[in-house]
Amino acid sequence: MRVRVGCQFIYAAEVATHAVVQVEPRLEGAVRALDERWTTTPQIAMSRYVDGYGNVCRRATISPGVSLLRFDAEVEVPDTADPQRLDAAELAPQDLPHEVLVYTLPSRFCPSDELADDAWRLFGSVPPGWGRVQTICDWVHAEVTFGYLNTSPLATAVDVLNTRAGVCRDFAHLAVTFCRALNIPARYAFGYLPEIGVAASGTPMDFCAWMEVFLGDSWWTFDPRNNQRRVGRVPIGCGRDAIDVAMVSAYGGPQLTSMTVWADAMPRP
Residues lying near its own copies in the complex (CB under 8 A) are found at 18, 20, 27-28, 31-40, 43-52, 57, 59, 61, 75-76, 92-94, 98-99, 101-102, 104-108, 111, 113-114, 153-154, 183, 243-244, 249, 251-252, 269
Nearest-approach distance from CB 179 to its own copies, in angstroms: 14
> Residue 97 carries which side chain, given as an amino acid letter?
P
Q: Which is nearer to its own copies, 83 or 138 (CB)?
A: 83
Nearest-approach distance from CB 16 to its own copies, in angstroms: 8
Nearest-approach distance from CB 200 to its own copies, in angstroms: 26
Sign of CA dihedral 93, 239, 261, 169: positive
First vs last Cα of the chain: how many Å apart?
10
- Please give the torsion angle defined by the CA atoms of residues 38, 41, 47 and 48, in that order, rounded to the nearest 10 degrees: -30
Nearest-approach distance from CB 34 to its own copies, in angstroms: 5
Q: Which is nearer to its own copies, 228 or 251 (CB)?
A: 251
Nearest-approach distance from CB 126 to its own copies, in angstroms: 18
Q: Which is nearer to its own copies, 128 or 227 (CB)?
A: 128
Nearest-approach distance from CB 24 to its own copies, in angstroms: 9
CA distances from 259 to 5, 70, 113, 117, 171 (A): 14, 10, 35, 39, 22
Q: Which is nearer to its own copies, 100 or 146 (CB)?
A: 100
SS3 of 16, please? Answer: coil
Task: Determine contact, residues 89/129, Cβ cutoff 8 Å.
Answer: yes
Phi/psi for 93 (5° steps) reads: -50, -40
Q: Which is nearer to its own copies, 23 or 223 (CB)?
A: 23
SS3 of 212, please? Answer: strand
Q: Which residues contact 197 (CB under 8 A, 6 or more apart)?
A: 81, 230, 231
Q: Which is nearer to its own copies, 18 or 85 (CB)?
A: 18
